[in-house]
Amino acid sequence: MSEQSNDSVTSSPVIIIGAGIVGAATARSLQRAGHKVTLLDSAEPGNATSFGNAGFLSVDSLIPLARPATLKKVPQMLMDRDGPLTVHPPSLPWLLPWMARFALASLSTAEVQKGKEMFRPLMLEADIAWKAEIQASGLGELFRTRGALYVYESEASFQGTDEMRGLQSGKGTEFEIVDGNRARELAPGLSRTIVRGIHYPNGTHTIDPHKVVSTLVERFTAEGGSVVRGRVRGFRRDGNRVTAVQLTDSELPASAVMIAAGRASGELTRLLGFNAPLVAERGYHVMMASDNVQFDLPVSPPDRGLFFTPMAEGLRIAGTVELAAPHQPPSWHRADLLKKHLKDIFPEVGGVEQSRWIGERPTLPDYRPAIGRAPRLANVYCGYGHQHLGLTLATATGRLIARLMEGEQLPSALRACDPGRFG
């Protein structure tokens, strides 16, 4: 293929690699900003990690998981086969470099502080962006603002939330500290073992995460956007610019490229000459029939690392973390464990299992996403590594990328999300 002229490059679309929630939300933002956009994925939009999340917009999560308090808990969690964190044993050699980076990030006062300073403006942006997107894309029937309830089985566990609540108060988050009885009023059926709770009255969740993605893509295509199925094998470059995305048997001319391919983003960045040390934080969900479900808000026992979320198809139990190398078979014991947690927290709630699922949360070792321009490349942008917060941060990522493409600078606190920070 002959080298493209500047005019042909300018007339080419922005290619977004990855049609999950981050890619779809970014496509909508760029489209509204006047860009010609193509969504590229090897599978149907929203059928990977975006399909099975807990559905909660966690806009008040303000502390990165890479911090001393988390690191301190890791040995104990790993010793508990039924705990919220496990490592797939055969994957350990592959995971060790990432785990070492995680430990270093957790122990670095400067890196932890960057995360704290980053999350506040990022979550404020996410809150605004989701409200705007729900209206712009007609998603109102898929979201519920019914609040959220975090529950604790000991006073010591509750006291561990002091720092988070302090940051939330500084952000202006509305919440109420409740005792066990009040928690059981908010979520009927809750176990008597719950002694404390934090109620967020403005919490918002979706009743169908997959439909959120598919609806965004439908609106995107209805307004002139293109969706292409294909697998990326490389990139055509002209100096510090990417001029085309090379597929197995064709290529797509590009005015710019955004990488939003989840865990696979790491493979794409290597093709472009920079590092994204991503691992798959494997999460599971089980859909249960809604027998005796009398609550309409997401409920989370944080110490168990999961959510119970009422959805259109039933009650979704989603969460926990399993670190594993790519392409390892599922550990369905983790899904069975979710049902055990349900019986512990809601003894009389839930009917027969309807389905189970495994997904890969793309996670960087400092637990900060990569949002911004790629290093040493003039027209490549990044939006990956959102770990547990992919749904929450999707629309914010899209709006930030759109601003960058228009020549704006991101707030200084968001330099902590620089995609080039790993070399």
- Joined together, the tokens standing for residue 293 give 């479900």
From CA 123, how far away is CA 285, in angstroms rounded? 25
In the chain, residues under CATH classification 3.30.9.10 are 62-109+140-204+278-363
Average pLDDT over residues 143-171: 96
Return the bridge partners of 200, or none. Answer: 148
Task: Determine the pLDDT at residue 9.
Answer: 44
From CA 402, how far away is CA 269, in angstroms rounded? 20
Proportion of the chain above pLDDT 70, given as a percent:
98
Q: What is the pLDDT of residues 204-257, one digit of tens each?
A: 999 999 999 999 999 999 999 999 999 999 999 999 999 999 999 999 999 999
Quick check: 397 pLDDT over 50?
yes
Q: What is the pLDDT of residues 55-65, one digit of tens each?
A: 999 999 999 99
Between the CA of residue 398 and those of 21, 62, 347, what are the distances in Å?
A: 10, 20, 41
Spell 225-235 as b/e; 16+ CB within 10 A means b.
bebeebebeeb
CATH superfamily of 6-50+211-276+367-422: FAD/NAD(P)-binding domain (3.50.50.60)
How many residues are listed for the chain in this entry?
423
- Joined together, the tokens standing for residue 313 give 């198809």
Task: Determine the pLDDT at residue 117.
Answer: 95
Q: Token pair 């705007």 is at which residue?
A: 132
Instruction: Check: CB of residue 105 under 8 Å from CB of residue 111.
Output: yes
Backbone torsions φ then ψ of 347, nearest 5 degrees: -55, -30
Coil, helix or strand for 219?
Answer: helix
Average pLDDT over residues 317-340: 94
From CA 383, how far away is CA 259, in angstroms rounded? 6
From CA 205, how far away is CA 392, in angstroms rounded? 10
Instruction: Check: CB of residue 279 under 8 Å from CB of residue 34.
Output: no
Which of the four pLDDT bands, split at 50, 70 and 90, describes residue 10?
A: low
In the chain, residues under CATH classification 3.50.50.60 are 6-50+211-276+367-422
- Output the pTM of the full model: 0.94
- Joined together, the tokens standing for residue 130 give 């989701």
Q: What is the pLDDT of residues 175-194, one digit of tens each?
A: 999 999 999 999 999 999 99
Q: What is the pLDDT of residues 46-88, one digit of tens each?
A: 888 888 999 999 999 999 999 999 999 998 888 887 889 999 9
Instruction: Check: CB of residue 302 under 8 Å from CB of residue 150.
Output: yes
Return the CATH fold of 62-109+140-204+278-363.
D-Amino Acid Oxidase; Chain A, domain 2 (3.30.9)
